[in-house]
Structure 1
Amino acid sequence: MKLETNFPILTNDLIIRAAYGEETERTPVWLMRQAGRYLPEFREVYKKHDFFTLCKTPELACEVTLQPIDRYSGLLDASIIFCDILVVPQAFGLDVEILPAKGPYFPSPLKTLEDLQKFSKKEINVEKELNYVFKAITLTRTKLNGRVPLFGFAGSPWTLFAYMVEGCTSKTWSVAKKWLFSNPKECCELLQTITDVVIEFLIGQVKAGAQLLQVFDSFGGELTPAMFLTFSYPYLQQIVTRVKSTLKSLNLKVPLFIFAKGVHSCIESLSTIGFDVISLDWMMDVKQAQLKLQGKVALQGNADPALLFAPNNVIQDEVADMLRNFGSVGYIANLGHGMLPDHDPEKVRVFLQAIKEYSSNAGKKRKIEKVD
């Protein structure tokens, strides 16, 4: 696919500078799932269109991506394209539905060894199958008019594999993990095929206009440390290495973020393979993470999403504690997971304003101290 370059000039690069470990005048912030069901304007659009129609119609994906940017004008420092990690399994030819109150559902998941072998040999035309994502990114980057940068994203190979064989969200992921134990060779072959597709998908998003990339390893914490290092880590390593190498050959450079939920024992390993930012979930102690990582990468996170149900003064106090713990350099504020459907949009505003006010005041203080 061609490289899109005719975009408005970016006027807010705080998050990009923070991702590369540079000091910023205040702490940048964005929210995972910031475009979604907690917003009344999103629900109005959702009444008329099903979930994947929103994902696959560039104009609609652009509209809902911009909703939080417009609502919280000046408070969010990045947008993230409205899409879903499960568009990759769809590109493989699997049907995926979103069921009310249940979430993702695969009517025909991979059930046999023959299924795994068949899908491992599939050749996917990424540009054709996922072109709607690329079009949505190009349109949204243009419509943002340089206000904030735009994230592209994809699921990790292990997380996508787990969905493809489990068929729905699971409390144990026992079906997927049974395959890892009983047929590791065949599983690795499918994981490699998924990896190749994810890499091409991420590169395509940057060529279409994405200015940052995040990989979601949502189920990494479901694996033991040894299993994670066998069935997830090598493929994440390939992603960051090959994506960066290809982008460099195109004279492109974007920060790569990894969100590996629950993968606390392996964050040191993740910090050594080229990711620029590690996003921490709310269960990870910040000081322990900093001690392990020794400033090798920037950090993102990690407020408990449930904090947004608290009284305003509690939100403000928790934000102050979070920002003090993380410090001012190489840090991007976020939740430790995504927005919840029953969040109050005005609580989100309190959270975002508290981050901007606290970090701006701290930045002014640092500037005064340097002058002195």
Structure 2
Amino acid sequence: MTMTMTPIADHLWGRLPLELIERILDLLVDEYDQDPAYQWTTLRHTARRQMRRIERHFLRHWVPKLTITLYSGPRCQIDYRLSNYSGNDNLGIRRVRFQTLGPGLANSLNKEGIRTLWDQYSFENRVAHLRLGEGILNNGMTGGYIVNDTDIVDLEVENDGLSIAFDWRRTLDALLREEVMMQKLQTEMAIDRKKKLAGERRWPPFPRIQRLALVKAFVLDIQMAKRVAMQQHRLKRHDPSGETKLGSLTHESRHLHKQDLPPHPPASEPGRACCIICSRRTGPSIFEVVACEESVVLSLDGWQQLEKEELLDLYAEAYGWNCYRCLGQENNVSWQQTSKNDWLTVCSSSAEKLHTIRRWNPWF
């Protein structure tokens, strides 16, 4: 939705009482309460009063629902959440402080190890990711929150890494602007895919089959392609020379982002030889996290109106295509159907399958 108006509409809008205009804008903002990216990047700029109102709402409501996760290798995830909020929604607050409960949550890591991880955080090495609205956005549907490795702006590491402070406005602005960019790219890619299939007479005639076809396209191409495009856009803004490298494009996630990479450098010390998971030293890239945590089903137009039975089938379809890709079964379509059926028959209720907070795990 845009705020552009015709000359006549603009004239009529200008004749409305200010109180009525403000009330209309209030209702418009409230209508998009489940779309913080649109609220922040677009509606926040409709009027000065709305900017203050939305920023106050974000400080009170969304900042406490932001999680920053620090990774150490394939096993350890350390969550940081808001620590200094006590109902104060003073918009003069520029920086917020997040903290973890302590090194006991970090398996074998101590405070020195956590501090070392944060010291490695940079544009080329995003060892921490942001999650907004886990279990809340998109009515709490599985994989319905925002996750990205966006920059944590003006980051300061405190208490040997047990606390961090950063600029909440600029960090959310970066996170939500990139989310809007990816939504736009995804829409354009989906339209192009429909046109291509229609031109080849391979676009299904029935809406339910069309949705299955789109789920396949999202999983195997669009979901990652939009993030590659966004990462390249980010790199161009950060370093137009192109000399800086994107740390998110890793060998471990090559099967997801499909980008050319230089040969993998030899390890400085030999890893355990049992499997690739135990041997790797690095945490997940954003592509690996997204493949596990983000549901492409919620990218379908009108998913909210679908029956639970079809939603379950679409989630299972996405799971099957993900297995098809991740386990190197690109030429074995029956593998996808087997994986899909396995997901449908796993011993958990429909509610659990559709409303679960799922974190990246290299074993699943």
Fold shared per TM-score above 0.5: no
TM-score bin, normalised by smaller chain:
under 0.3
- When the two structures are superposed, what TM-score results if normalisation uses the length of structure 2? 0.26
Larger radius of gyration: 2
